């Protein structure tokens, strides 16, 4: 739960002269003038050079079908296997691997007759491959073919003249021994852009390879392997690579790698995220299965709804970090996963997981004479990669985790004392170098947390925020920006900060990433990309002491809204729901005998709630419903009495009786049988926090028993009754005051540039008075970069890749005390040179020379 420090800023309002007349004239400006006072040269805190990095996790096809250039989806035919039920039992439907459709299809031309099956009968290619593709060709005439086609990651981008390297393993039966196969790049109708014969087949597995050079472009092509005679063939590990970034074999999609390089990340955290522990033990990321020949890599089910080939394995990640010139932050699993650590390797097996961790460090850093260092050298990299940061799993905690963490920490430090270890949780009194925290939320959430780190205790572990995101649009970008101002300001505490997820393949977006979006042939920078880039290019060396006095806006917390019910891993049945206004007027009365069309079902398919006689019943397995919610009524309801009857029919908890519900992040609840079915009390969820509003009264909800609930909601108080008895009373929350603008000031020591970063989260321009104290010289011309758009929801897309992009220009009139206007919904970076001889990066520029929207900024 988050605690929000109160603001301490003064509200000093004054008026200012207008420098940027165009902006003033075009829009009505917001409230009063904000005053931003910067003490140049005073109270400097060094900015942590590890701000800002990137987080590479295979989610949304960040890797498979994303930066990893392999064009064949499901190249080893393993995605057609049934994922073991155990591993996925708690995953929501959209993340269930069963939802992945195979990318392979059968092509019978003319009268040819063939069938395709995914086969696990021996002899398989090797022990890493559990299945292959068997193609039975029953009949085939002259000029006909039976083929399997791969559609790639929703299309294969065929480029005229480019070299496509393919490889595959094949064997034939006696009938096909000595026959050739044909591989080709084609369109849907069978138009061939490039083809090559391979063979001859034998009855044992052989590797075939070659190159194709297409004669035309087609961004949505496919790859085929065809037989021309009757018989049976078996195929496995089919691979197709276009030219890769830096021409590395088994390498990266160049334009995506270039976009990542453009961010100049200070570090790269990989390979996850939850991807590391992956939801169950058999599918945790075990690095030893991710190195060497791709045919020897089994791959694994990825927690994010598809299979990962692990073609981008430990070695390739380390190589990528080296190519980017960035510090690797390698995250390894500790064998603790599942909800409540329900899948955890017993302590008797922990040694194996620990050894894997130690060996990973030896692979990365050991001399080429060491066992694992020698393997690295064999893979073409004799020099150590020099990893300095190691993450001990991701978003884990609790007793099972802490027990293992202690073992890992001590053993790793003993062998590698200079490694910095990152723990994903508060490990209490256990030793800890860096504690990692993750923040996802709306713009409002980040506004409410902009001072979060100002009051963090010093003297303990340093903090990394290796996942934060506000969403893939302008609101998300501004949210990240103002959050980063807080991270920079607390540079003495902060280290290793990056947003997440980085990428989204738009044809299979399970959880939209924030920075780079693409399909199989196009890509663009999403708005938060520019925040990362502008902050990493304008980090400066020191944070200058500054103050900002500005207007506030009030954020309502549970002021009005609908009624509803929410359950977590629990099933209930509802009856007799009624809402009565303060004047006794009935605002709502259920009539479940006639249905429940006025109820909105969230988080589960609507079919999980059905009407049976006079009840509204939750019918799906509770394990499928970690959280579900039904709501009804009007969002402008304020005071009322809410009655309902409920009966628990299965699961772990009781119910949240919701009132003043407006949206996912704004509601109040009388939680009956909450906290693991241990008690009842009032809670408030606002975009900033979840808060207990009354003491928790112990008590359990019994399965099968009907309960009468009444909640009286009046102005700023609520009372909750259970079976006629008053159980809890709460005072409701007053509105929270949020700033309208955010700002920070840094300085580059060498050239003396003062870098002001200012964010306006309002629809109107914001007048600013900027005071630069403590500097004798100020260059009147400054470099201004503005990221802004008309609506907070504005975002870039495949069709409009540069809709929201920074615009740069030189502005004049900068002096010790000057007026300035921040554009509506904007981040502004203003680089002001304060060294007479410095000629800072943008010093002495007088003519306005805007960069066209969408061009990348100069280094």
Rounded to a whole number, what is the distance in angstroms from the first to the last CA of the chain?
A: 40
Which range binds ligand AHR by CB under 6 A, 272-280, 287-295, 485-493, 697-705?
A: 272-280
Q: How far apart are CA 432 and CA 409, in angstroms?
A: 8
Q: Is 467 in the site for ligand AHR (CB under 6 A)?
A: yes
Q: Which two tokens stand for residue 562?
A: 């609908």
CA angle 434, 440, 444 (to 5 degrees): 120
Nearest distance from residue 838's CB to ligand AHR, in Å? 41
Nearer to ligand AHR by C-beta: 264 or 512?
Answer: 512
Among positions 394, 491, 495, 762, the unique one binding ligand AHR when judged by CB under 6 A: 394
Give the 3-state secondary structure of residue 794: coil
CB of 63 to ligand AHR, least distance (A): 13
Q: What is the DSSP letter of 252?
A: B
The C-alpha atoms of residue 564 and residue 546 are separated, in whole angstroms, by 46
Regarding beta strands 45-46 and 542-543, do their DSSP bridges make them parallel or antiparallel, or are they unpaired? antiparallel
8 A C-beta contact, residue 229 and residue 176: yes
Question: C-beta of 529: minimal distance to ligand AHR in Å?
Answer: 16
Q: How far is CA 416 from the centre of its chain?
A: 31
* CB atoms near residue 615 (< 10 Å): 21
- Closest approach, Cβ 301 to ligand AHR, in A, equals 15
Check binding of 321 to ligand AHR (CB under 6 A): no
Cα dist. 846→63, 70, 197, 714, 813 in Å?
Answer: 44, 48, 63, 61, 10
Q: Minimum distance between the CB of residue 629 and ligand AHR, rounded to whole angstroms?
A: 20
DSSP alpha helices (H): ranges in 667-805? 674-677
By CB under 6 A, tell whether 59 contacts ligand AHR: yes
- Rounded Cα distance, 305 and 293, in Å: 25
**Core vs surface per residue 643-677: b (16+ CB within 10 A) or e:** bbbbbbbebebbbbbbbbbbeeebbbbbbbbbeeb
Stretch that binds ligand AHR, among 69-77, 269-277, 532-540, 679-687 (CB under 6 A): 269-277
Of the ranges 78-86, 136-144, 266-274, 360-368, which one interacts with ligand AHR (CB under 6 A)?
A: 266-274
The stretch among 273-281, 354-362, 409-417, 760-768 that binds ligand AHR (CB under 6 A) is 273-281
CB of 531 to ligand AHR, least distance (A): 17
Which single residue brings its beta carbon nearest to ligand AHR? Answer: 273
Which residue, 52 or 825, has its beta carbon nearer to ligand AHR? 52
Binding mask 7-46 for ligand AHR (x = CB under 6 A): ----------------------------------------
Rg (CA), the chain: 30
Question: What's the closest the beta carbon of residue 461 comes to ligand AHR, in angstroms?
Answer: 19
For residue 272, state whether it binds ligand AHR (rule: CB under 6 A): yes
Q: In the numeric block, which tokens belong to residue 122?
A: 């021996």
What's the min distance (Å) between Cβ of 512 and ligand AHR? 10
Q: To the nearest whole angstrom, how small is the minimum distance from the Cβ of residue 557 to ligand AHR? A: 25
Contact 516, 256 (CB under 8 A): yes
Nearer to ligand AHR, 152 or 501 (CB): 501
Question: Cβ distance 842 to 829 under 8 Å?
Answer: no
395 binds ligand AHR (CB under 6 A): yes
The least distance separating ligand AHR from the CB of residue 687, rounded to whole angstroms, comes to 19
Question: What is the smallest separation between the CB atom of 424 and ligand AHR, expressed in angstroms?
Answer: 8
Smallest gap from residue 277 Cβ to ligand AHR (A): 9
Yes or no: say if 150 and 72 are a contact pair by the CB < 8 Å rule.
yes
Nearest residue to 308 (alpha-carbon basis) of 569, 611, 64: 64
The β-bridge relationship of strands 206-212 and 146-150 is unpaired
State how far the Cα of 130 lies from the Cα of 111, in Å rounded to an integer: 32
* Distance (Å, whole) CA 154 – CA 73: 9
| 331 bridge partner residues | 391
| Residue placing its CB nearer to ligand AHR in the complex, 272 or 328 | 272
724 class by beta-carbon count within 10 Å (0-12 exposed, 13-18 middle, 19+ buried): exposed
- In the complex with ligand AHR, the residue whose CB is nearer, 500 or 787, is 500
| Among residues 180, 274, 509, 627, the one that binds ligand AHR under rule CB under 6 A | 274
Our finding on whether 470 is near ligand AHR (CB under 6 A) is no
How many residues touch ligand AHR (CB under 6 A)? 12
Contact predicate 312/68, CB 8 Å: yes
CB of 57 to ligand AHR, least distance (A): 5
Question: Which lies closer to ligand AHR via its Cβ, residue 153 or residue 275?
Answer: 275
Omega of the bond prior to 277 within 30 degrees of 0, cis? no
Tell me which residues in 501-560 interact with ligand AHR (CB under 6 A).
501
Name the residue nearer to ligand AHR (CB basis): 251 or 272.
272
Number of other CB atoms surrounding residue 175 within 10 Å: 14
**Min separation Cβ 394 and ligand AHR, Å:** 5
Binding status of residue 464 toward ligand AHR by CB under 6 A? no
- Exactly one of 40, 135, 500, 756 binds ligand AHR (CB under 6 A); that residue is 500
Q: How far is the CB of 812 from ligand AHR (least distance, A)?
A: 43
Q: Which stretch binds ligand AHR (CB under 6 A): 267-275, 347-355, 381-389, 642-650?
A: 267-275
Query: What's the burial of 118, exposed, middle or buried (CB within 10 Å: 0-12/13-18/19+)?
Result: middle
Closest to ligand AHR by CB, 466 or 520: 466
Nearer of residues 68 and 659 to ligand AHR, judged by Cβ: 68
Q: Is 630 helix (H, G, I), strand (E, B) or coil?
A: strand
User: With CB under 6 A as the contact rule, which of the stretches 73-81, 270-278, 559-567, 672-680 interacts with ligand AHR?
Assistant: 270-278
By CB under 6 A, which span of 235-243, 247-255, 271-279, 308-316 interacts with ligand AHR?
271-279
> Smallest distance, Å, CB 500 to ligand AHR?
4
Spell out, one character per residue from 396 to 435, where the chain touches ligand AHR: x when CB under 6 A holds, - when not: ----------------------------------------
Closer by beta carbon to ligand AHR, 285 or else 642: 285
Distance in Å, CB of 503 to ligand AHR, minimum: 11
Does position 365 interact with ligand AHR (CB under 6 A)? The reply is no
Q: Which residues contact 855 (CB under 8 A, 6 or more apart)?
A: none
Of the pair 35, 303, the CB lying nearest ligand AHR is at: 303
Answer yes or no: are the C-beta atoms of 54 and 265 closer than 8 Å.
Answer: yes
- How large is the angle between the packed helices 254-262 and 314-324, nearest 10 degrees? 50
Binding mask 436-455 for ligand AHR (x = CB under 6 A): --x-----------------
When asked if residue 58 is in the footprint of ligand AHR (CB under 6 A), the reply is no
Is the omega angle on the peptide bond into residue 200 within 30 degrees of 0, that is, cis?
A: yes
Q: Rounded to the nearest whole angstrom, what is the least distance from the CB of residue 347 to ligand AHR in the complex?
A: 25
Strands 389-392 and 327-332: parallel
Q: Contact with ligand AHR (CB under 6 A): which of 57, 310, 508, 566?
A: 57
231, 273, 366, 470: which one binds ligand AHR (CB under 6 A): 273
| Residue partners of 22: CB distance under 8 A and separation at least 6 | none
CA distances from 709 to 578, 587, 719, 728 (A): 11, 17, 11, 12
Contact window for ligand AHR (CB under 6 A) among 122-130, 268-276, 369-377, 406-414:
268-276
**Residue 275, token pair as written in the block:** 């991807």
Integer Cα distance of 227 and 202 in angstroms: 14
Q: Which residues bind ligand AHR (CB under 6 A)?
A: 57, 59, 272-275, 394-395, 438, 467, 500-501
């Amino acid at each position: 739960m988050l605690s929000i420090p109160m603001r301490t800023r003064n509200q000093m309002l004054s008026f200012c002269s207008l420098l940027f007349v165009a902006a003033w004239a075009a829009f009505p400006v917001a409230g009063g003038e904000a005053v931003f006072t910067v003490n140049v040269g005073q109270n400097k805190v060094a900015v942590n050079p590890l701000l800002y990095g990137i987080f590479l996790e295979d989610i949304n096809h960040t890797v498979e079908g994303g930066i990893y250039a392999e064009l064949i989806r499901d190249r080893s035919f393993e995605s057609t296997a049934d994922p073991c039920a155990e591993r996925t039992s708690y995953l929501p439907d959209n993340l269930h691997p069963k939802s992945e459709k195979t990318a392979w299809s059968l092509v019978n031309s003319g009268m040819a007759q063939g069938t395709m099956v995914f086969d696990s009968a021996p002899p398989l290619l090797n022990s890493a491959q559990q299945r292959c593709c068997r193609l039975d060709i029953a009949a085939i005439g002259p000029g006909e073919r039976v083929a399997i086609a791969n559609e790639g990651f929703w299309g294969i981008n065929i480029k005229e003249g480019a070299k496509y390297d393919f490889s595959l393993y094949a064997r034939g039966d006696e009938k096909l021994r000595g026959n050739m196969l044909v591989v080709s790049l084609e369109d849907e109708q069978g138009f061939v852009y490039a083809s090559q014969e391979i063979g001859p087949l034998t009855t044992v597995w052989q590797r075939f390879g070659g190159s194709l050079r297409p004669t035309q472009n087609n961004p949505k092509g496919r790859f085929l392997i065809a037989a021309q005679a009757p018989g049976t063939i078996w195929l496995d590990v089919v691979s197709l690579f276009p030219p890769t970034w830096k021409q590395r074999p088994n390498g990266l999609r160049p334009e995506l790698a270039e976009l990542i390089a453009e961010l100049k990340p200070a570090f790269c955290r990989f390979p996850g995220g939850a991807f590391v522990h992956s939801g169950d033990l058999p599918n945790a990321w075990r690095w030893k299965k991710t190195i060497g020949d791709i045919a020897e890599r089994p791959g694994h089910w990825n927690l994010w709804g598809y299979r990962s080939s692990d073609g981008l394995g430990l070695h390739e990640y380390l190589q990528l970090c080296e190519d980017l010139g960035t510090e690797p932050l390698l995250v390894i699993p500790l064998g603790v996963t599942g909800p409540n650590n329900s899948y955890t390797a017993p302590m008797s097996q922990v040694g194996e997981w620990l050894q894997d961790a130690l060996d990973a460090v030896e692979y990365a850093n050991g001399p080429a004479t060491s066992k694992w260092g020698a393997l690295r050298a064999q893979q073409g990299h004799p020099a150590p990669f020099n990893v300095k940061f190691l993450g001990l799993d991701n978003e884990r905690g609790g007793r099972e985790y802490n027990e293992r963490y202690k073992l890992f920490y001590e053993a790793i430090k003993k062998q590698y004392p200079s490694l910095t270890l990152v723990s994903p949780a508060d490990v209490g009194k256990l030793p800890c170098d860096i504690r990692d925290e993750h923040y996802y939320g709306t713009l409002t959430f980040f506004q409410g947390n902009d001072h979060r780190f100002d009051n963090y205790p010093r003297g303990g572990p340093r903090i990394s925020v290796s996942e934060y995101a506000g969403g893939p649009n302008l609101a998300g970008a501004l949210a990240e920006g103002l959050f980063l101002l807080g991270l920079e300001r607390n540079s003495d505490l902060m280290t290793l900060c990056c947003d997440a997820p980085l990428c989204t393949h738009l044809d299979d977006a399970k959880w939209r990433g924030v920075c780079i979006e693409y399909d199989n042939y196009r890509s663009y920078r999403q708005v938060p990309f520019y925040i990362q880039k502008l902050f990493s290019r304008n980090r400066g060396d020191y944070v200058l002491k500054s103050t900002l006095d500005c207007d506030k806006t009030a954020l309502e917390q549970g002021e009005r809204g609908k009624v509803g019910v929410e359950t977590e891993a629990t099933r209930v049945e509802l009856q007799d729901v009624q809402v009565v206004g303060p004047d006794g007027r009935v605002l709502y009365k259920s009539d479940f005998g006639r249905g429940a069309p006025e109820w909105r079902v969230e988080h589960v398919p609507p079919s999980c709630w059905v009407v049976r006689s006079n009840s509204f019943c939750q019918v799906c397995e509770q394990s499928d419903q970690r959280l579900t919610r039904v709501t009804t009524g009007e969002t402008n309801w304020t005071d009322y009495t809410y009655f309902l009857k409920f009966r628990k029919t299965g699961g772990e908890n009781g119910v949240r009786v919701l009132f003043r519900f407006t949206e996912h992040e704004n509601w109040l609840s009388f939680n009956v049988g909450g906290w693991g079915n241990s008690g009842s009390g009032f809670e408030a969820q606002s975009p900033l926090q979840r808060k207990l509003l009354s003491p928790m009264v112990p008590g359990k909800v019994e399965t099968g028993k009907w309960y009468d609930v009444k909640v009286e909601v009046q102005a700023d108080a609520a009372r909750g009754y259970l079976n006629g008895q008053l159980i809890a009373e709460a005072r409701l929350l007053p509105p929270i005051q949020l700033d309208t603008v955010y700002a920070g000031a840094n300085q580059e020591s060498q050239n003396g540039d003062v870098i002001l970063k200012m964010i306006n989260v309002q629809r109107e321009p914001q007048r600013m008075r900027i005071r630069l104290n403590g500097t004798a010289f100020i260059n009147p011309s400054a470099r201004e970069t503005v990221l802004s758009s008309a609506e907070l929801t504005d975002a870039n897309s495949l069709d409009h890749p540069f809709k929201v992009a920074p615009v740069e220009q030189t502005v004049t009139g900068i002096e010790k005390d000057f007026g300035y206007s921040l554009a509506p919904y904007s981040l502004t970076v203003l680089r002001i040179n304060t060294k007479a001889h410095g000629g800072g990066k943008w010093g002495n520029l007088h003519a306005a020379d805007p960069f066209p929207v969408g061009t990348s900024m100069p280094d």
